Amino acid sequence: MSEKYFSETFKPRFCDTDALGHINNTMVPVWFEGARDPVFKWFMPELDLSQWKLILAKIDATFHGQMYYEQPMEIRTYVGRIGGSSFDIYQELWQDGNKCASGTAVMVYFCYEKQASLKIPTEIKNTMQEYLFSSD
């Protein structure tokens, strides 16, 4: 069974390191948010900032191993859970063949004007289904 995910690759920068000589942990939420762009586009194809419809409810990140300056990184972005108006995005950070970090972002489809959550449309749910993470 093939597994579908969004892949983003980039190179960590010198200023991403800290005094212990590795990448500082606070970069991981930054990179994970950056790699959620394709998810934002499901709900807002034009990424119109004045019509934003997503709220971030919670994030977590687990650190499995050290991350290093200069070696390319890949972030793999999956759907972790599909709810009625909320959903989880599950992400992994890979460097040099190692899964260095993983984490989940709980997001809510939301109308800022009405201050109310919205039902995720069926067509978006169908797309989400394709990216559903299976730990097998």
Please tell me whether residue 85 binds its own copies under the rule CB under 8 A: no
Please tell me whether residue 26 binds its own copies under the rule CB under 8 A: yes
Distance CA 73, CA 93 (A): 7
Please tell me whether residue 69 binds its own copies under the rule CB under 8 A: yes
Residue that is written with structure tokens 């190179």 in the block? 11
Amino acid at 93: L
The phi and psi torsions of 29 (rounded to 5 degrees) equal -60, -35
Residue 93 CB, shortest distance to its own copies, in Å, is 14
Please tell me whether residue 34 binds its own copies under the rule CB under 8 A: yes
Please tell me whether residue 44 binds its own copies under the rule CB under 8 A: no
Q: Mark 3-33 as b/e (b = at least 16 C-beta within 10 Å).
A: eebbebeeebeeebbeeeebbeeebbbebbe
Q: In this chain, which of 3, 4, 7, 10 binds its own copies, going by CB under 8 A?
A: 10
Distance CA 124, CA 136 (A): 24
Q: How many residues bind its own copies (CB under 8 A)?
A: 34
Q: Which is nearer to its own copies, 33 or 125 (CB)?
A: 33
Which residues lie near its own copies (CB under 8 A)? 10-11, 13-15, 17-22, 24-26, 29-30, 33-34, 37, 40, 47, 49, 52, 55-63, 69-70
